[in-house]
Amino acid sequence: MKFYSTRGKDTVNSAAEAIVKGLSSDGGLFVPETFPDFSDKLENMLSMEYYERANYILSAFMPEYGDELKVKCKAAYDKFENSEPAPVVKVDDNFYITELFHGPTLAFKDVALTLLPFLLKKGSTVCGIKEDILVLVATSGDTGKAALEGFKNADGNKIMVFYPTGGVSDMQKLQMSTQEGENVNVVSVVGNFDDCQSTVKKIFSDEKFAEDLKKKGYRLSSANSINFGRLAPQITYYFSSYCDLVSSGEISMGDKVDFVVPTGNFGNILAGYYAKKMGLPIDKLVCASNRNNVLTEFFASGKYDKNREFYKTTSPSMDILISSNLERLVFEVSDRNCDLTAKRMEELKNTGVYEVSKTELNKMAETFYADFADEEECKETIAEVFDENGYLMDPHTAVAVSVYKKYKSYTGSNKPVVVLSTASPYKFGQAVSEALFGKKIKDAFIAAEKISEQSAVPIPENILSLKNKPIRFNKSIDKADAEDEVLNFINK
């Protein structure tokens, strides 16, 4: 299958090549030539285990990966609790939560990043690439740790993660700063996530820098959701959630379901859009934002405007003003007009603003509904759902549940709704404990202990073990020094 750049000047002949390149040479994002139709294949998936569903879906995009893909899917998802990356929990009538935090780093990014090292390595072999791969990652919290864990000590790969100074939770910072592995590096960047993301994109577009790396035996790739290899595995949990609801008798095959997705960079919800294009009976995709609600305004008005105040919130993985994956959606609703997409992305770069047509806005409204929750609403939701349903959630999930309640009130919909829960509450223990108990606890481990005492939900071992791990990475840099840091890393 061919993959095209959203900006029209780069085409590759396979998913393997798109995955290895990560970002297209014109700065655009790779999209598949076509979306395979699974509408008549859902019955086949009901009896499958999760790894089999993943292989079934991914093989349609990646035939060049062959039978080995199924083996690697099983190996990746055996790293999850009970080998189940996406269990569906019933919270109330027609209200379900798909828990995506049972992997090695307790966040939904594990679903893709346990598999991506194989996709990159095999992709390099398929493409005849002899250089080692240097993976660069910008993170607002969870992607960084999941990528580091996935790539640690992986042959032929080095990985370097940039995160915003002061822009992640204490537990997220600890997870990254104590990371094990001989091929990993972590630095914080003065600024916010958008600064980190723009820094990585700038490095990717620097042809001279790429040549310098090649002389040293490296080529760049990405583990962010701008890479199709990060995005594609996320499609599976939409299909899997639906199949589990059918198998358990909660819905009948063909019934339409709404998904509510907490999102910042738009990759998580875009995977749902792709699932719908592939025939999954999704009615609405509800885009849930925090106080940084640039996406809410975009879906209401058609105008994307990043020129606004940036807020640091208790849901830091959503503290984003430039939602990179939105480019893929804009490309699709413009009838794949690459010239128009390129023009809009140039406008975003130069002015911070672009706008879609009324026709395109109406087309998006057929699938998307968007709203946001502020900090107080988030806290109230954590407390209310725990009190009423006995369910413990992190702030990102609380944003989604708060928006779900608004959506239900506004639309009067009684369709089954699945909220995607993106992280363990223990990664954000201080925020969760404040919501539950009404006071701030400075120490993240003490906060976790109090939550566990009150909820009887065990603290994951991956959190407890951080307490005694040595800090390996504590360097902070200006974004202008990022290329030098990359070169220092590969020269070690």
- Write out the catalytic residue numbers: 109
The identity of residue 268, as a single letter, is N
Virtual CA dihedral for 483, 22, 311, 160, nearest 10 degrees? -40
Pairing of strands 3-5, 11-12: antiparallel
Tokens of residue 138, six digits: 């910008």
Strands 157-164 vs 132-138: parallel, antiparallel or unpaired: parallel
Query: Cα 393 vs. chain centroid, distance in angstroms?
Result: 18
**For strand 476-477 and strand 157-164, is the pairing parallel, antiparallel, or unpaired?**
unpaired
Question: For residue 260, what are the β-bridge partners?
Answer: 286, 419
What region, left, alpha or beta, does residue 368 occupy, with left being phi > 0 and alpha being psi -120 to 50 degrees? beta
Angle at 414 between CA 396 and CA 274, to 5 degrees: 55
DSSP secondary structure, 291-348, as one string: S--HHHHHHHHSEEE--S-----S-GGG--SS-TTHHHHHHHHTTS-HHHHHHHHHHH
Residues constituting the chain:
492
Q: Which residues contact 484 (CB under 8 A, 6 or more apart)?
A: none
- For 22, 24, 74, 103, the CA distances from 204, given in Å and listed in that order, are 9, 9, 32, 29
**Cα separations in angstroms, 249 against 87, 242, 279, 365:** 15, 11, 20, 30
**What 3-state DSSP class applies to 477?**
strand
